[in-house]
Structure 1
Amino acid sequence: NAAQVLSVFGGGGHPSAASAVIRDKTPTEVRALLLDELTFIHPAGLRASDIMTREYHRLEATATTREAFRAMNRFRVNALPVFREGRLVGVVTRQEVDGALQHGLAERPISDYLISPPPIFPPEVAAEEVRRLMLENNWRIVLFGRDLDHVEGLISRMSLFKSLYHQDKTLTVHRSGGQPSPKEIGHLMRGAFPPEEIGRLKSLGALAEAAGTPCLLVGGAVRDLLLGRPVQDVDFVVEGDAVALAEEWARREGGRVRAHRAFGTALWIRPGGGHWDFATARAEYYETPAALPTVAHAALYQDLYRRDFTINTLALYLTPDRFGEVLDLFGGVRDLKAGRIRVLHGLSFVEDPTRAFRAVRFSVRLGFTLPAETEQLIEATRKQQLFRHLSPKRVLAEVQQILAGPNAVEGLKAMEAYGLLDVFWPALKLTPKVLETLYRVQQALGFFDTQFPDEPMDRPCVYLMALTERLSNAELAAFRDHYPFSQQTRDALARYRSLTWHAIRTLTSEEGCGRGSAYKVLKGQPLPWVLFLLAKIQPPSRQARVRDFLVKDRFLKLAISGHDLIRAGIPPSPAISRALEQARLAKADGLVQNRDEELAFALKVARRALEEI
């Protein structure tokens, strides 16, 4: 607004054209005043308030050098503002902390070597001006607010340059290999969400903006959206109180909220089923390699930085003015286009070695590759023996997720290639025989999924039977005892060998060729084992018996009951259960077709049983 800018000089006009006559000042003075007016009072484009972090980490002036060092490592920052009783007294940098440690000042308060407080700038200052000041003064961070007692936020050098880079990209018409256009995002969202769901996302964005707590769709949902895959989980990151936002959303939309205030997370359970996950932006730090992380509230940048791979750091703005705009701070879009799994920093697998298993899972699930640096980091983590710090529970959880996927065999082959199968259990080997059985299991599971797409199946349990088939009994028992398997999997691993031997022996004999024999062997047995048997048994005619059981005979029911036999004169006795069981086998073999035939057959068996008694 040109008229508004020149009003300070006593001028005026229209927003697009204005003038002012200035006396008693040189052109240089006028230029300086005009630049101040443009950059601080009426800046054009991105302002500091648009990108500054309002929830930032700070130190108290009484903190020691060692505490400052730990805080910088914990939150991955190179400078921290220092306060005394709420008033800004300075900024401490990593170089200062490192130098103090070298001089033996680890236990001295950082206030001993603080320089005078840095300047405070108004949040309305132009981002370009902040960049100029940072470069000229070599500042790590710039603080914004009214005065030293009222600091509203800060901008780090990295976050500023990332924001300006992102803004520059949106101003150019360059899409090849870059950000998806708004039109592309709109098309993808219409494919992933019904219209009413998009309306809800827009309403949530407006609610969050009104509350001053920006909310973004984040992680796997954005990744799958950009890949054109079905969006399974809807997760949001909130720059503020996620619990309060979720509760206000539930008041408007119905449903209920399950909150974990200590972690800043909330689950909105929708009235019609399903849920949305809300989480306050947070950082994670690891006290030791492979330890579970400690969580602390942080800025959005740090929340995204804590994630495992660049493709999972993507976020989508929901605010009305930026709805559908992708936030990509770490090159996630580029890696999606290139089809690669890339970590954010060199200590990623050191901090959490389970990410190596996740890299395998994502690469197999998405058909992506692991670039050389990711492979090298996995190998370095293995050589440092950091996987041994993981609990059996955490390792098992990751392997089971790989085995639950549709390409589990490829996942196991990738695990072996990167040394992760050895981490899981050293005696497990993908020999040609084992691989043949694993592929047969994959086919059996595919058959089951086709026939019963809505019936749950413990896929990892089936694969574990095939994977451990060549272990010795003692090795299998040790494996079973080492991991916290479910009771069903534990029982399956204990019994599947004897069950399989008995079933194959029975069903491949001359007497065991009928459907009734298969029914007798398979009824009441766990379905994962039945599918393992389907993968193991030969020839195809015997496989057909197992398939018939899965598709038909396991649902077999008689039209008669014990009461019918009692009414026909059979006294209550074990003869009744024997008669009903024989009638089921006869029905499976096709010897009885209707209720009358079932009753006649069962009465004949029951009377013979009574004579024997």
Structure 2
Amino acid sequence: MQIITSHTNADFDALASMLAAKKLYPEAKLVFPGSQEKSMRDFFLESAFYAVDLERLRNINVEDVTMLIIVDNRNPARLGKLGEALGRPGVTVHVYDHHPAANNDVKGEFEKVEEVGATTTLMVELLRQKGVPVTPMEATIYALGIYEETGSLTFVSTTERDALAAAYLIAQGANLNILSDFLSRELTTEQISILNDLLRSAKQYDINGVNVVIAAMATPHYVPDLAVLAHKMRDMESLDALFLVVQMEDKTQIIGRCRIPQVNAGMVLEQMGGGGHPSAASASVKEMTYLQAREQLIDVLKRHIRPGKIARDVMTSPVKTIPAGSTIQQAGAAMTRFSVNVLPVMDVNRVQGFITREVVQKSLFHGLGRQKAEEFMTTGISTCSPDSPMSRVEQIMLEERQRFIPVLDNDGELVGAITRTDLLRSLHEGKLAELPEPGGAGMHAGRNVAGAMVERLPRPVRDVLGVVGEIADEAGFPVYLVGGIVRDLMLRAANLDIDIVVEGDGIVFAGMLVKKLGGRMRAHQKFGTAVVTLPDGLKLDIATARLEFYDSPAALPTVELSSIKKDLYRRDFTINTLAVRLNRSSFGELIDFFGGLRDVKERIIRVLHNLSFVEDPTRVFRALRFEQRFDFRLSKHTQNLVKTAVKMRLFTRLSGARIYAELMLMFSEAEPGSLLKRLSDNDLLKFIHPSARYTSEVELLYDHIDEALTWYRLLYLDITVEIWFVYFLAFLDRLKDPAAEDALERLSAPPRIRRRIRKARAAYRAVLYDFYRDPDMPPSSVYDRLQPLDIETILLMMAKARKDSAKKNISLYLTHLRTVRVSLTGDDLKTLGIPPGPKYKKILSRLKDAKLDGMVETPDDEIAFVRKLAEA
């Protein structure tokens, strides 16, 4: 027997998902595992949908269940009696859900679990994919599920997919009047009375610095639609975290509604046997009074809510300083080098004061560059400790008007600093967290992305990252996942280039990782980095948090140890500045200092500062590469900075090897032709060679290469192609030989590549000429011309070939001629009585040509052919 079910206290999302699942599993029976919300019961009473074939739970023998299809739920505790079927031999489980993952989730042989606002959205998408028709009444039910679960598409968990599913249902005839009737009902007199009692019983609790309101009461009769009252109360009082605890009849119902990242209602109520989303969850407990339930809830909240932020959580560390005795001129140089606006002045290990950029600039204007910085520094400053509450930090900065706060340990030594930017980011982190994720919800600055990591990273990678966090805790190092893997996590794109940054000694940390997991490491002491290769081949790049400064435009950077914030600031674009904490206490917390998540959402490439391209002009090539790869666009300001870099001819200062490396990466992208056009649009080709152009002929050649590569892939041959080399050959194709040599010289191309290109250019021109001159060339001659060439040259020839006869020759070679072999060997010739000697080579060559040309086929044919040659 197949059963479709959901969760106790079922809502419209559960009902709609069950009904949609019935269309995918027509033999299954619909069974609610327990009670339903009053709004849904009213719907059954008032609508024509009472005729739905629902089976009563009491009529189901769990032992007869062979398949359990669970929708809108993975919590076994919410399956009621049907949960007994889990784990039984012969029972298959299919799961469709949208709730965040939990430790005790039901595991199914098939699972469709994705981050959308409603499970009904997933089901509607499946129906559309399979071409299953939807009636107007069904569309109405499905729309009720989506609209109720997403707050009529207004909850932060709502995604674009929910809106598209709703639009599709409206197009299928969903009745909006019915939706309005059941989703916008006024409170009854009884509900108003209960709401009044809840408001009177509400108490505010300060739990680890977070205000949580709990309303607890008992009522002798059942209270319907308690969730509706929770919404009303939260909105009336503008509450960030609200829990209702109501004892009724034989159970106590708990409803949670939260809109701050510090309180995850789903995780909290999961500890009490329930579950749900971070913003909305519920639980039902038996044999417990409302007072007992409230106390247990408070205990759970105390364990769940991390203490409020302290100075240690927001400070920047380590801090760049200058020693006492430094001049104003030296202070200014340090500020420019390290991109800071304030520098503490140190006497040994003690802070004497600090000097600001404004003071330095004015002092320099007045010709005081050789004066000591301490003569103009701010003294008598207030400090705080790492454990100081944020209220103390705010008091110093706002009331004492001190823009920079040194953080001192118990010994009075400087361990960090808090700036106005640090404070503003801390105060507004909650607002930053409300930015929606591209293509979905739930991954924001100040929010935890551990769930997304579970969904999108392979299990071995997640396990290794967990160990990284454990080792970091043991060593006392803050540790972060950074770079492209975090960016692509937000984009839902595959990327297993694991970059780890350690606020500590990265090489020491890498050694600890190898000791724990095995494998090997290769360290680079100069940069404080190491590459760890684990026994299974997985590689991790480990780096010490560092900053870079450039002594001159386009020079290679000088590196110094720094903080994670400075480490991220040295990166090329905001989309690459995202980081994820890996320490166990904050595993999965997203770090976004520079608005990277916003730019990912808006699909923008943006530099971090105005001198970015001056410091490293190769970033222009990377900007265009990312623009094409992700279908992003350069911000207007970034585009203007590209024009400035071109105007200043900064690319002439780059070594050829650096430009060559960027070109190889560009030619390895999915659409090199589009990238080449962008180089041309931005007037960059002239820095490779003055004669380099992107013309209609070049565009056509690149299109033909794309076609040739697609054709080749469909052959499923066993020859790997260096795709970048095909496009690189095409790039040089329009240049005359001297110009091509000049370009290779400018790019400092490796000697091996130069030799290979010279050979390819000469070969494909000569061979194509021969193919054009002799369209009926025998297969053996085709083989002789193509066999010495590499596959990249042959594919470029296929793209360049203008005549069908030439294309047929190339196709024949790749699909047939290249694998033709003769069965006879020199030993066979000796057996046939042919005296050994140089003629063996000539005979076997003639035999090979005959087989290529179809003159011989079988081994007997070969023997006869050889004997005839020997007799001649």
> Which category describes the TM-score, using the shorter chain as reference length?
0.7 to 0.9
Partner of 2:497: 233
**Does the 8 A contact of 1:223 with 1:312 survive in 2?**
yes
SS in 2 for 1:525: coil
SS in 2 for 1:121: coil
Tell me the distance in 2 between the aligned counterparts of 1:553 and 1:231: 39
Partner of 1:30: none
Partner of 1:393: 657
Partner of 1:84: 347
CA apart distance, 1:191: 4.2
CA apart distance, 1:209: 2.4
Tell me the distance in 1 between the aligned counterparts of 2:595 and 2:830: 75
Unaligned stretches of 5+ residues in structure 2 = 1-204, 210-305
SS in 1 for 2:547: strand
**In structure 2, which of residues 701, 705, 710 is the aligned counterpart of residue 437 of structure 1?**
701
Alignment of 1:274-285 (within 5 A): 274-285=538-549
Identity %: 34
Question: TM-score, normalization: structure 2?
Answer: 0.61
CA apart distance, 1:566: 3.3
CA apart distance, 1:56: 2.0
Partner of 1:107: 370
Partner of 1:10: none
For the structure 1 residues 530 and 174, does the alpha-carbon distance in structure 2 shift closer, same or farther, using more than 3 Å as the test? closer
Tell me the distance in 2 between the aligned counterparts of 1:588 and 1:151: 80
Tell me the distance in 2 between the aligned counterparts of 1:466 and 1:326: 43
Partner of 1:366: 630
**In structure 2, which of residues 640, 649, 664 is the aligned counterpart of residue 376 of structure 1?**
640
Alignment of 1:81-160 (within 5 A): 81-116=344-379, 118-146=381-409, 149-160=412-423
For the structure 1 residues 110 and 567, does the alpha-carbon distance in structure 2 shift closer, same or farther, using more than 3 Å as the test? farther
Q: Amino acid of the residue matched to residue 90 of structure 1? A: G
SS in 1 for 2:822: coil
Alignment of 1:260-299 (within 5 A): 260-299=524-563
Question: 2:587 aligned with 1:318, yes or no?
Answer: no
Alignment of 1:424-503 (within 5 A): 424-452=688-716, 455-503=719-767
Tell me the distance in 2 between the aligned counterparts of 1:71 and 1:179: 40
Unaligned stretches of 5+ residues in structure 1 = 6-42, 609-613
Partner of 1:519: 783
Q: Amino acid of the residue matched to residue 205 of structure 1? A: G
Task: Name the structure, 1 or 2, with higher relative contact order (CA <8 Å, separation 6+).
Answer: 1
Alignment of 1:215-234 (within 5 A): 215-234=479-498
CA apart distance, 1:603: 5.0
Q: Amino acid of the residue matched to residue 151 of structure 1? A: L
Tell me the distance in 1 between the aligned counterparts of 2:838 and 2:393: 90
Tell me the distance in 2 between the aligned counterparts of 1:230 and 1:55: 34
SS in 1 for 2:355: strand
Higher helix share: 1
CA apart distance, 1:83: 1.4
Tell me the distance in 1 between the aligned counterparts of 2:320 and 2:651: 31
Question: 2:639 aligned with 1:353, yes or no?
Answer: no
Tell me the distance in 2 between the aligned counterparts of 1:484 and 1:407: 24
Question: TM-score, normalization: structure 1?
Answer: 0.86
SS in 1 for 2:318: coil
Q: Deviations over 1:389-424 (max 9, x none)?
A: 111111111112111112000110111111122222
Partner of 2:564: 300
Tell me the distance in 2 between the aligned counterparts of 1:422 and 1:506: 34
Question: 2:205 aligned with 1:205, yes or no?
Answer: no
Q: Deviations over 1:73-104 (max 9, x none)?
A: 11111111121222222212112221222232
CA RMSD of aligned residues (A): 2.7
**Does the 8 A contact of 2:310 with 2:389 survive in 1?**
yes
**Does the 8 A contact of 1:375 with 1:418 survive in 2?**
no
**Does the 8 A contact of 2:442 with 2:449 survive in 1?**
no
Q: Amino acid of the residue matched to residue 556 of structure 2? A: L
Q: Deviations over 1:492-547 (max 9, x none)?
A: 43234432232123223447444322211111212221111111123334313212
For the structure 1 residues 602 and 439, does the alpha-carbon distance in structure 2 shift closer, same or farther, using more than 3 Å as the test? farther
**Does the 8 A contact of 2:688 with 2:746 survive in 1?**
no
Tell me the distance in 2 between the aligned counterparts of 1:590 and 1:382: 59
**Does the 8 A contact of 2:775 with 2:805 survive in 1?**
no
For the structure 1 residues 191 and 345, does the alpha-carbon distance in structure 2 shift closer, same or farther, using more than 3 Å as the test? same
CA apart distance, 1:236: 0.9
SS in 1 for 2:708: helix
**Does the 8 A contact of 1:570 with 1:606 survive in 2?**
yes
Tell me the distance in 2 between the aligned counterparts of 1:236 and 1:102: 43
Partner of 2:330: 67
Question: 2:316 aligned with 1:53, yes or no?
Answer: yes
Question: 2:674 aligned with 1:422, yes or no?
Answer: no
Question: 2:854 aligned with 1:593, yes or no?
Answer: no
For the structure 1 residues 545 and 214, does the alpha-carbon distance in structure 2 shift closer, same or farther, using more than 3 Å as the test? same
For the structure 1 residues 146 and 511, does the alpha-carbon distance in structure 2 shift closer, same or farther, using more than 3 Å as the test? closer
For the structure 1 residues 238 and 565, does the alpha-carbon distance in structure 2 shift closer, same or farther, using more than 3 Å as the test? same
For the structure 1 residues 117 and 497, does the alpha-carbon distance in structure 2 shift closer, same or farther, using more than 3 Å as the test? same
For the structure 1 residues 184 and 79, does the alpha-carbon distance in structure 2 shift closer, same or farther, using more than 3 Å as the test? closer
Point out the more displaced range, 93-102 or 496-505. 496-505
Q: Amino acid of the residue matched to residue 156 of structure 1? A: T
For these two proteins, the number of residue pairs brought into alignment is 569
Partner of 2:508: 244
**Does the 8 A contact of 1:254 with 1:271 survive in 2?**
yes
Tell me the distance in 2 between the aligned counterparts of 1:357 and 1:62: 43
CA apart distance, 1:386: 1.2
**Does the 8 A contact of 1:78 with 1:140 survive in 2?**
no
Tell me the distance in 2 between the aligned counterparts of 1:453 and 1:552: 11
Tell me the distance in 2 between the aligned counterparts of 1:412 and 1:94: 43
Partner of 1:577: 841
CA apart distance, 1:267: 0.9
Q: Amino acid of the residue matched to residue 348 of structure 2? A: E
**In structure 1, which of residues 523, 526, 531 is the aligned counterpart of residue 795 of structure 2?**
531
For the structure 1 residues 536 and 164, does the alpha-carbon distance in structure 2 shift closer, same or farther, using more than 3 Å as the test? same
For the structure 1 residues 449 and 362, does the alpha-carbon distance in structure 2 shift closer, same or farther, using more than 3 Å as the test? farther
**Does the 8 A contact of 2:485 with 2:495 survive in 1?**
yes
Tell me the distance in 2 between the aligned counterparts of 1:472 and 1:285: 40
Tell me the distance in 1 between the aligned counterparts of 2:751 and 2:865: 39
Partner of 1:557: 821
**Does the 8 A contact of 2:382 with 2:396 survive in 1?**
no
For the structure 1 residues 514 and 199, does the alpha-carbon distance in structure 2 shift closer, same or farther, using more than 3 Å as the test? same
Tell me the distance in 1 between the aligned counterparts of 2:794 and 2:388: 69
SS in 1 for 2:531: strand
CA apart distance, 1:375: 1.2
For the structure 1 residues 454 and 252, does the alpha-carbon distance in structure 2 shift closer, same or farther, using more than 3 Å as the test? farther
**Does the 8 A contact of 2:384 with 2:406 survive in 1?**
yes
For the structure 1 residues 553 and 56, does the alpha-carbon distance in structure 2 shift closer, same or farther, using more than 3 Å as the test? farther
For the structure 1 residues 4 and 500, does the alpha-carbon distance in structure 2 shift closer, same or farther, using more than 3 Å as the test? closer
CA apart distance, 1:4: 12
For the structure 1 residues 112 and 558, does the alpha-carbon distance in structure 2 shift closer, same or farther, using more than 3 Å as the test? farther
CA apart distance, 1:388: 1.1
Partner of 1:8: none
**Does the 8 A contact of 1:120 with 1:148 survive in 2?**
no
**Does the 8 A contact of 1:258 with 1:266 survive in 2?**
yes
